[in-house]
Structure 1
Amino acid sequence: MEQQQHEHLRVTRLVQVPYKGEFLPVHAISMGSQSPDAPCLMYVGGVHGLERIGTEVVLSFLHTLIERLEWDHSLISGLEQLRLIFVPALNPVGLVRNTRGNGNGVDLMRNAPIDAVSRPPWLAGGHRLHPSLPWYRGKKDEPMETESQALMQLIRRECFSRPFSLVLDCHSGFGFKDRLWFPYAYSQKPIDHLGEAYALKQLLNNTYPHLDYEIEPQSKSYTAHGDLWDHLYLESLETKSVFLPMTMEMGSWRWVKKNPRQITSMMGLFNPVMPHRLQRVLRRHIVLMEFLIRATRAWEKWLPTGQNRQISYQQAMEHWYGTKPQPTSPITEGGNPHYEPYDTPGSP
């Protein structure tokens, strides 16, 4: 792992992956506080090489912040209480080849060692048939792909030691609406931090009531094997960190509807082709990404604790699952005061 130092930025080469006799790097660009007590916000793109718009959105926002670092004292001072990390192109070989999977044909979001407990959609939910088919998980019991392992190591190092961390992983596809998904994908049971996810949703909706994102557990749309964020979230429950990974699924069907000729190419199915539409998409998500910076930095102001956490959890259960459970919140000795586990229906 190599690092390059700049006044406000640190560029780290996480790993290199082979392609046609060369090696393509996976970089992480970080800025802000290095204090272990500072919250962390991470933007990820390029997990699926076909969905280039995810990388473009992350790079566009990174460019904006770099320009502001030259003159915006409010941004510079705000970064003293926040750590920001960008991984714009996790799957560089897929981006070069315009494929969903990496150089081995593996879908990095189907690659984790976790199986869906309910029947996922055939093929799309992950399979082990052949790497020439999309959504290939990789061979059973083999190590995870190099890119997946690099991201996991970064998350463990940067997020799990902090009191609060949030990830926005940028994708495209699946429908006409822009969605913000949080775990689980492998199961329809609620996550332990469902109340925190609902509090973030309410904070966004109250602050920007005209933003149009469908915020929900991924399992409300479909379940899947091998979801990397499920795997990392479950691992985070063994730590003292509140870790909320979210996937932004940009609704690419709208672009196809406005320009039906896009359906004739795989790239057109997942990316805006017309230049004006690309610019519109790059502008559209800036408000969300700026909001997440402020929400992460001020996490103690809105993250529910104690009785408010129980109330938020019940509201979330009613909103997303149509039920009103009566959770308990025993505080484990030595545990994180912001994480009080519930006895939730369906928990293992």
Structure 2
Amino acid sequence: MKASELPELIELERIIAEGATHLDARVMCQVAAAEQNFPVYAITLGNPSPAVPAVGFFGGVHGLERIGSEIVIAFLSSLVKRLQWDSILHRQLESVRLVFMPVVNPGGVWQGTRANPNGVDLMRNAPLDASEHVPFLIGGQRISAGLPWYRGPLLGPMEAESQALCQVVEEELLAREFSIALDCHSGFGISDRIWFPYAHTVTPIAHLPEIHALKEIFDQTNSNHRYIFEPQSRQYLAHGDLWDYLYRRAGEHPARSFLPLTLEMGSWLWVKKNPRQIFSRHGIFNPLIEHRQQRVLRRHMAWFDFLTRAASSHQRWMPTEQARESHQERALAHWYQKGKP
């Protein structure tokens, strides 16, 4: 496959051209793979003022999980189409900044690998070690780039793609009073999960009350949703998690609130419905049947739209100091009490 044939980049560049009057697009870095060069794009729209909140949507960190890129691209495409006629969206974008990095790891997408072309798993690449025991290999390893979940060399620089993601987050999200990030993945279990930090420790994050309040308003307005909200540490711990690293960077400014979330789509449900997919490496992580892929893309649009609305209206639902104590108690009982489901 040639670089010009990478469907995700073709579609992304088409959307950038179509929405040129509304979008700002820049290439954060170029990634080489098999004598091809792939751009890593960052696209922004909405109010650029640092006084307004922001939401960042990220996909394709793991190249094998193409559905993560496709769902972010689909949402961006929908916004560009709506900007042609939706006056309410225009008004909404006056009060929020939207940031997109749909294909963080284009070399991995091109190669059909979880890792980037250097064999590094970008979600194990941050300079952060777990403070507790992690599972062998899956928690991140420095044995060999030939094995999965390779972190990169000890004391080596972060990969170019990781640095690009961190730069965009620091410039567009962490500089604001309030921001949310959503990173889209697939391949864990049969249920769609919304994960929040930490991945490197079971210790609750400082913004646990805000996470609980966000979940609460989503439950109230989307009573039939099937997402499982939980800290990633409930499933496994890992070294080098990019979002743990960035959340800790955000902690250098206590007055700011940064809520990094991960959408982990339960791809084993697609395998259950079409068992032949288990014989395809791509099929384990992506819905291969067209109507099922379309259904997946539709199902998560409400969640993306909710995050945009929640960010622009964050002052209406963020808990006050007194309410934070109640949210903290309920969150600890729900997510961190032993024996809880």
Category of TM-score, reference length = shorter chain = over 0.9
| TM-score, normalization by structure 1 | 0.90
Structure 1 residue runs of 5 or longer lacking an equivalent are 324-348
Superposed, 1:149-168 pairs within 5 Å as 149-168=163-182
Percent of aligned pairs with the same residue? 51
Q: Which residue of 1 aligns with 2:6?
A: none
Confirm or deny: 8 A CA contact 1:185 1:224 kept in the other structure. yes
2:123 pairs with 1:109: yes
* Match in the other structure for 2:71: 57
Q: Which is helix-richer, 1 or 2?
A: 2
* Aligned-CA RMSD value: 1.3
Q: For residues 215 and 96 of structure 1, what CA distance do their matches in structure 2 show?
A: 31
Deviation (angstroms), 1:23:
1.8
**In the alignment, structure 1 residue 8 sits paired with structure 2 residue 8:** no
Q: Hey, what's the Cα distance between the residues in 2 that align with 1:232 and 1:278?
A: 31
CA distance in 2, matches of 1:9, 1:55: 18
Deviation at 1:22, TM superposition (A): 3.2
SS in 2 for 1:215: strand
**With structure 2 as the length reference, what TM-score do the two structures score?**
0.92
Give the Å deviation of 1:21.
2.6
Which piece of structure 1 moves more, 293-302 or 310-319? 310-319
* Equivalent residue in structure 2 for 1:211, among 191, 202, 225: 225
What runs of 5+ residues in structure 2 fail to find an aligned partner? Answer: 1-15
1: CA distance between counterparts of 2:81 and 2:111? 31
Shift of 1:172: 0.1
- Aligned position for 1:277: 292
Deviation per CA, 1:237-292: give whole Å up to 9, x if none: 00132000000000001000111111111101100011111111011101101111
SS across alignment from 1:249: strand
Q: Who is 2:61 aligned against?
A: 47
- How far, CA to CA, are the matches of 2:101 and 2:123 in structure 1? 15
What's the CA shift string for 1:7-45, capped at 9, x where partnerless? 211111111111223321000111000111110000000
CA distance in structure 1 between the aligned counterparts of 2:337 and 2:150, rounded to whole angstroms: 34
Q: Which of these residues, 295, 301, 305, is aligned with residue 290 of structure 1?
A: 305
Tell me, yes or no, if structure 1 residue 220 matches structure 2 residue 229.
no
Pick one of 242, 246, 249 that aligns with 2:257.
Answer: 242
What residue is the counterpart of 1:68 in the other structure?
82
Measured in 2, the distance between the counterparts of 1:107 and 1:305 equals: 39
1:34 matched to 2:36:
no
Aligned residue in 1 for 2:201: 187
Shift of 1:6: 2.9
Deviation per CA, 1:310-330: give whole Å up to 9, x if none.
11111111111128xxxxxxx
SS of the equivalent of 2:28 reads strand
Residue 100 (str. 1) matches residue 114 (str. 2): yes
Which amino acid is the alignment partner of residue 262 of structure 1? Q
Q: Residue 254 of structure 1 aligns with which residue?
A: 269
